[in-house]
Amino acid sequence: MPNGKAIPVETVEPGYQKVFLAADAKKIMSGYNPESMDDRWFIYYEDSLVYFVRSWTGYHIFGFKLAVSPNGSANVIASWANRNIDEYQSKSKENDIQTINDLINGIFAVRSNDYLNLMKVQA
């Protein structure tokens, strides 16, 4: 566990659902190490889980579990958001989902796959 901080006990399932194309899943599973003090997030992949950690404090804020298909695409099958108010003060589950999407799009330049995600929601 990076930075020595434990995954929080106080969590909520925000309902994050996403399907990542193989190239995007590979980027996400490669993680992200902050390059400067301006980078606020450290992201790592371990045992099918993607963790989003605040780089300055080491607090785990978000996480999700990926089911990776043989073709390399990946489906989010579970997610959590920190609800320890001393570590993270979220406004809502919707805000958590938006933050996760913003981080993935901003850090990993993930292409839009709204069609795949729409099909998942309808299934």
Task: Express each pLDDT in 72-87 by its tens digit.
Answer: 999 999 999 999 999 9
pLDDT level of residue 71 (50, 70, 90 thresholds):
very high
The DSSP-derived string for the chain is: -GGGPPPPSSEE------EE-HHHHHHHHH-B---STT--EEEEEETTEEEEEETTT--EEEEEEEEE-TTS-EEEEEEEEE--TTT---S-HHHHHHHHHHHHHHHH-PPP-HHHHHHHHH-
**Stated pTM of the model:** 0.86
pLDDT tens for each residue of 94-116 = 999 999 999 999 999 986 555 45
Count: domains in the chain: 1
Q: Which residue has the higher pLDDT, 35 or 121?
A: 35
Given this model, what pLDDT does residue 53 score? Answer: 95
**Residue numbers of the domain that contains 52:** 2-122
